[in-house]
Amino acid sequence: MLTARNPVLTKPATALETAQAERNRFIGFAFAVAELVIEANEDGDILFAAGAAESMFGISNEKLTGSNLYQLIEAKDRAGLRKALASLPLGKKMKSRALTVQPPAGKVRALRAGAYRLPNNPTIAYISISLQRSDNASGKLARRSPKSINSLDATTGLPNKETFANAIRERVSSLKASGESCSLTMVDLEGLEEVRPHLEDGAEEEIFAKVGALLSANSLDADLGGRIDRDKLGFVHDPSFDVDALAKSVEKMVRDASPWADDFKLGTATVALDAEGLSEEDMGQAVLYTLNSFSKSSGGHVKFGSLSEGCKEMLAETMAWQQRIKRTIADKSFTLVYQPIVDLADGQAHHYEVLTRLNDDPDASPYKFITMAEQLGKIAEFDWAVVERVFKILRKAGPARAIPLAVNISGRSLASAEYVRSVTAAIKMNGDLTDFILFEVTESSKIVDLQSANETLKLFRDLGVAVCLDDFGVGAAAFEYLRSLRVDFVKIDGSFVREAAHSKFSGAFIKSIAAMCKELGIKTIAEFIEDDAATRLMRATGVDHGQGWHFGKARPELPWDIEARKAAARPHGHENWDPTVGRRTSA
């Protein structure tokens, strides 16, 4: 059974457990709306820090811990913050306020800070801090709304690719109106691959933290630097900026980190961020196309020198994708593979996630295909083709042999009336199989109408189908989704799982999410579990289920397929024949 709607009754929580749960919950929500969370006593001494300390204060989380918050804040803001925290009622949130800091690195930062005090611990304040962004080309500061909160890369402190692309689009739009110009430079540390095996523990993280701080310091604004891919970053700057000098600085950083890096060279590519002849939508897509092109390149090269040139190339590529997607759906030329999701308590398979592989490129990830189908309005047709095939597979197995399967659904498909009608009819027609199917709502495409989406999910759940929120934690919408959508499972994004062993931020995030979901009666799944250590860590943080290569890669066969294949290999009339040894076994 997949349903997880009835929370298990537990004994009443103690005051300490209640306080811990409330603290975990606050930290979880704070991470969703802030870039840095700190814990400070009534004197302002920082007892704990997690998040983008490097980009805000110029020092690591470890060094920030033990510092005094009031000493980092400009004198004009100290009395106001001290008074606000002292008068903050227990169990209440402090209204976000502006702060200006003069960090050790010497660069002034404008921040926004909110705070909360636990009823059971009145001497401690939990403070969430975000960079204050500018809202126009003039640099006028504005408070960031929750909807525009950025997802940061934990190592560099820079925005991730999608957030970076949105920031570039907004800046180019404002510059278009003012007639000013700027450039995007993307840097490639691909040569670091040869050096990695020889780096000391923590050296790679230190390199990327320093490069991130360097790009952020030289960008036109705090969010106009970003991590594009594993070894690729970028920043927006004035066209006159000396990119060669920056490249030499980065090369020196890497060479200083290891004697094996003497030959390291940084790849760079600079693109003029012109917007001539481009609509707002075209401009946004051209920016993302530029970042993706660089991400796929080798040695830091792109084939075009401006956004307008990139837009023309993008249009030709889009037409080719449209034809491929239509052909794939019409011919149903895709294959299903299945990856186990296990119960971390006993290691047994709980259900299998259904993943797709395209027949014309079976070894490649279908991610690009899915995102293009979403952009071109064809994803609902593809999602339905997958659901239809899964019901046929379950029907063939029958309730007696079926194993629960989880099917991905794009947020955009939930907005398709035709998709909802088709799926609803299929569920009703297969009422005896509802315990064996689960829908995973993905965040690859943002859900615009959450109320309507929740009504659709409620319809599915009322018919007996469980629902999972996929990729939880990435993007600003994660907690808004959880608040608005009634679900049975939450799958924590694998990026947090991979970093949990060496990142306080990711470890605390997972722990807080697991605690909150448990209180809400929602089961949790951690993906990208690759070894025993990660399994033990996820179990210790309170996560219910695990997925990853440690438990099994995605395979084209389900357990009942394997059983049928083995049965077919036995000679007729030899029910106990074992094909692996070529003889009859004892009954």
Task: Note whether 522 and 406 are same-domain residues.
Answer: yes
**pLDDT interval class at 122 (50, 70, 90):** confident
Q: What is the value of pTM for the model shown?
A: 0.55
**Do 112 and 49 share a structural domain?**
yes
The DSSP-derived string for 22-61 is HHHHHHHHHHHH-SEEEEEETT-BEEEEEE-HHHHHSS-H
What pLDDT, on a 0 to 100 scale, did the predictor assign at position 59? 81
Report the pLDDT value the prediction gives residue 263, as an integer from 0 to 100. Answer: 85
pLDDT exceeds cutoff 90 at 220? no
Sign of CA dihedral 517, 463, 408, 562: positive
Q: What is the pLDDT of residue 564?
A: 67
Q: Are residues 373 and 468 in the same domain?
A: yes
pLDDT attached to residue 204: 86
Answer for the pair 234, 215: CB distance below 8 angstroms, yes or no.
yes
What CATH number does residue 528 fall under? 3.20.20.450
Residue 174 and residue 280 in one domain: yes
Residues 444 and 549 in one domain: yes
Note whether 42 and 155 are same-domain residues.
Answer: no
Long-range residue pairs from 480-487, CB within 8 A, at least 24 positions apart, any chain = 480/146, 480/450, 481/441, 481/443, 481/447, 481/450, 484/450, 484/451, 484/453, 484/454, 485/441, 485/450, 485/453, 485/454, 485/457, 486/454, 486/457, 486/458, 486/461, 487/441, 487/457, 487/522
The enclosing domain of 302 has a CATH number of 3.30.70.270
Is residue 172, in this structure, part of any structural domain at all? yes
Same domain flag for 126 and 188: no
Least confident window among 246-250, 285-289, 377-381: 285-289
In a domain, 437, yes or no: yes
Judge if 113 and 183 occupy the same domain.
Answer: no
Residue 77: give its domain's CATH number. 3.30.450.20
C-beta neighbour count of 539 within 10 angstroms: 15
Please, what is the Cα angle at 189 between 238 and 473, to 5 degrees? 85
Query: What is the pairing mode between strands 437-442 and 405-410?
Result: parallel
What is the pLDDT confidence band of residue 162, given thresholds at 50, 70 and 90?
A: confident
Give the pLDDT band of residue 355 (cuts 50, 70, 90). Answer: very high
Task: Indicate whether 460 and 338 sit together in one domain.
Answer: yes
Examine the domain organization and report whether 416 and 509 are in the same domain.
yes
Question: Binning pLDDT at 50, 70 and 90, where does residue 462 land?
Answer: very high
pLDDT of residue 331 exceeding 80, the answer is yes
Is the model more confident about 195 or about 318? 195
Instruction: Note the pLDDT of residue 449.
Output: 86
Give the model's pLDDT for residue 311. 55
Do 340 and 306 belong together in one domain?
no
What's the pLDDT score for residue 517?
A: 94
Between 149 and 447, the higher pLDDT residue? 447
Check residue 260 and give its pLDDT: 86
User: Which pLDDT does position 569 carry in this prediction?
Assistant: 66
Q: DSSP label at 470? A: E
- Above 70 in pLDDT, residue 514? yes
| Of the candidate ranges 172-176, 260-264, 570-574, the one whose mean pLDDT is the lowest | 570-574
CB 438 within 8 A of CB 403: no
**pLDDT grade, residue 28 (50/70/90)?**
very low
pLDDT at residue 195, as a whole number:
83
When mean pLDDT is compared over 181-185, 226-230, 547-551, the highest value belongs to: 547-551
pLDDT at residue number 486 = 94
Token look-up 């722990």 returns 511
Residue 301 pLDDT grade (very low, low, confident, very high; cuts 50, 70, 90):
low
CA distance 40 to 49: 9
> What is the predicted pLDDT for the residue at 7?
35
The whole domain housing 456 covers 332-556
Total domains present in the chain: 3
Four-residue CA torsion sign, 416, 418, 421, 427: negative
Q: Are residues 111 and 256 in the same domain?
A: no
Contact 570, 579 (CB under 8 A): yes
Q: Is position 28 within any domain?
A: no
- Give the pLDDT mean for 472-478: 71
pLDDT at residue 108, rounded to an integer: 63
**Among candidates 176, 151, 174, which has minimal Cα distance to 164?**
151
Q: What does the mean pLDDT of the chain come to?
A: 80
Lowest-confidence segment of 20-29, 304-313, 458-467, 552-561 by average pLDDT: 20-29
